[in-house]
Structure 1
Amino acid sequence: MDETMTSRTNDWTRADVQRRLEEIIRENRFTIAVVFPFIGAVTLVASAEGLLPEPLAYNPLLILFGTMVMRSPLLVGLLPRIGSWALACLGLLTAYTYAIETVGVRTDWPYGAFEYTIQLGPMLFGEVPLALPLFFIPLVLNAYLLTLLVLGDWADSALVRVPTAIAAVVAIDLVLDPAAVAIGFWAFESGAYYGVPLSNYVGWIISGSVAVVLVDLAFDRAALLERVRGCVFILDDLVSFVLLWGTINLLYGNWLAAGVAGLFCLGLFRTGRYDLEMLRTAVPDTR
């Protein structure tokens, strides 16, 4: 009897916490998805151009804090679908993320010769950012979730769903890497695509394929799709990504990369949840 009551209390507590977290996200959607990436773009460009004083320029705590805030809609949206199996798959993906990045830094394979030029928070082994999974795994999740929504019934086929999600992950890096190189996050020895070598995208095909397969295995697709369709803010992190890195690419004249960011905007519009009505409900009412 006591165990049953305890179980019900725990279930109620989890549901109550989830409900409160969702309320916080809904009440602050515009701030999280628009204001934070705008401030991020301004401060990162100002850091790269030497316009910020030393304590603020490339401040790793601010970078990590801003990233965690922008990731929060995705995390809160997915929480009800993250069970023990999903945790195991995502844990394996986390280990893989550290492993492939460490190999890349030490051997120049599979991404090509590159190095981190600023401290993105604490560094694992002095080589790889400890927060790397926070930077990489949500990109894969965003690409996968957008793929499910855009493909519709085609998403039922793994032969369509998985390659499309992998292509979306690589397209995300077509936006990310040129902007990151422009503001000095990391640097390649040389590269034809705004300072990024083509070998980098071969590496992303490899790492993206492993990541997408693990994400595909992690979740019950029908339950995940039901959650994605019912949670209006779950892709707000992708909106933040497009605004932040798309803006930086525009400011540095990386027109092709900015154009790919524009394609993600079209994909988001196609989901039917990012329109004038969404903007009206997301902007805080200050009256």
Structure 2
Amino acid sequence: MTDADPTLWTLFLSTVALRPYVFVFLAVYLFSNTLVFGFLQTLWFTVGGYFLVFLAEFSSTRTGFPFGFYYYIDTTRQQELWLSDVPFMDSLSFTFLAHASYMTALFLCAPLWRRRSDVQIVDTKAIRRSPSVLVLTVTLFVLLDIVIDPVALQGSRWFLGQIYGYYEEGVYFGVPLANFLGWGIVGLALVMLHRVLDGVYRSRPRRAWGMAWVPYRGLIGPLLYLGVFGFNVAVTFMIGEHTLGWSICFCSALW
């Protein structure tokens, strides 16, 4: 590193300034996951999930597996953190997308405990490990990419910036179908990682299965899912991609 190169701390602050909306989603995820699953599980899932996704992206930019062949444009290398040829925040964002998808699946599959000032998800080990939660989590995870990837590919038209591209234009608004298959594979791997950590840390006694019993804490994850989904749909309409926007809304309503 030369004297002109930014320091790691400078790059971190610049990353926050460049991608503030991502850090808002990340903060909500950290708060939600810690409340429900505890600090240690959150720490290891965030770190382990990050490196799992990074390896998938590192592989894809070289071999095309699992997301298909694509490349990152390093115009922001002096403005945000990168690890090798992958922007740091890109791989990290998968952790909160996986959490949001998992909590939404639990919300839809598990019973709810209600009272006037509270709603909680009453999930059991059997529910958390059920095939329905597994399939629904992966489905919801891929559904997010159906919204995110086409609008991210148009990053030059909004404040994301053009950060990546595909070597060959895909059939779905420029995105190849292999990308969605890759998201399914990575989503499944993240769920399995979560199950392993859940088995380790849920067996240990702790207050209310987390740090504290907070009213509506089980709803934070599903609200995060809706927030990410809604944010990307809003950007889709904002940049004038009305066909894509209405297609997403129509498909989501049918789903």
Per the normalisation by structure 2, the TM-score is: 0.68
Aligned partner of 1:149 in structure 2 is: 107
Q: CA deviation at 1:263?
A: 6.6
Q: CA deviation at 1:258?
A: 5.1
Q: Does 1:94 align with 2:81?
A: no
Aligned partner of 2:83 in structure 1 is: 124
2:30 to 57, 61, 75: 75
Is contact 1:102-1:128 (8 Å) kept?
yes
SS at match of 2:76: coil
Partners of 1:175 and 1:228 in 2: how far apart? 31
Bigger share in helix: 1
SS at match of 2:71: strand
Q: Write out per-residue CA displacement over residues 41-79 of structure 1, whole angstroms, 9 at most, x where no aligned residue.
A: xxxxxxxxxxxxxxxxxx854333331123322221222
1:243 to 223, 227, 230: 230
Q: CA deviation at 1:240?
A: 2.8
Q: Does 1:192 align with 2:147?
A: no
Aligned partner of 2:190 in structure 1 is: 211
Aligned partner of 1:201 in structure 2 is: 180
Partners of 1:185 and 1:239 in 2: how far apart? 24
* Aligned AA (1:142): A
* Aligned AA (2:83): L
Q: Write out per-residue CA displacement over residues 162-182 of structure 1, whole angstroms, 9 at most, x where no aligned residue.
A: 111011111110011001012
Give the % identical residues. Answer: 20
Q: CA deviation at 1:82?
A: 2.4
Partners of 1:73 and 1:255 in 2: how far apart? 31
Partners of 1:136 and 1:258 in 2: how far apart? 25
Aligned partner of 2:240 in structure 1 is: 252
Partners of 2:196 and 2:165 in 1: how far apart? 33
Deviates more, 1:165-174 or 1:258-267: 258-267
Within 5 Å, which residues of 2 pair with 1:1-287? 60-80=15-35, 81-117=37-73, 118-119=75-76, 121-125=80-84, 127-153=85-111, 156=127, 158-183=130-155, 184-188=162-166, 189-219=168-198, 220=202, 223=209, 230-231=216-217, 232-250=219-237, 251-253=239-241, 255-256=243-244, 259-260=247-248
SS at match of 2:34: helix
Partners of 1:94 and 1:73 in 2: how far apart? 17
Q: CA deviation at 1:262?
A: 6.9
SS at match of 1:194: coil
Is contact 2:68-2:179 (8 Å) kept?
yes
Calculate the aligned-residue CA RMSD, in Å: 3.2
Unaligned runs of 5+ in 1: 1-58, 268-287
The number of aligned residues is 207
Per the normalisation by structure 1, the TM-score is: 0.62
Aligned partner of 2:159 in structure 1 is: none
Is contact 2:46-2:92 (8 Å) kept?
no
- CA change 1:164–1:236 in 2 (3 A) is closer
Q: Write out per-residue CA displacement over residues 198-255 of structure 1, whole angstroms, 9 at most, x where no aligned residue.
A: 111111111111012112333349947x969732544443233123211122243254
Is contact 1:191-1:198 (8 Å) kept?
yes
- CA change 1:85–1:242 in 2 (3 A) is closer
- CA change 1:242–1:84 in 2 (3 A) is closer
Is contact 2:53-2:91 (8 Å) kept?
yes
SS at match of 2:231: helix
Partners of 1:258 and 1:227 in 2: how far apart? 39
- CA change 1:144–1:234 in 2 (3 A) is closer
Is contact 1:122-1:130 (8 Å) kept?
yes
Partners of 1:223 and 1:136 in 2: how far apart? 24
- CA change 1:122–1:244 in 2 (3 A) is same
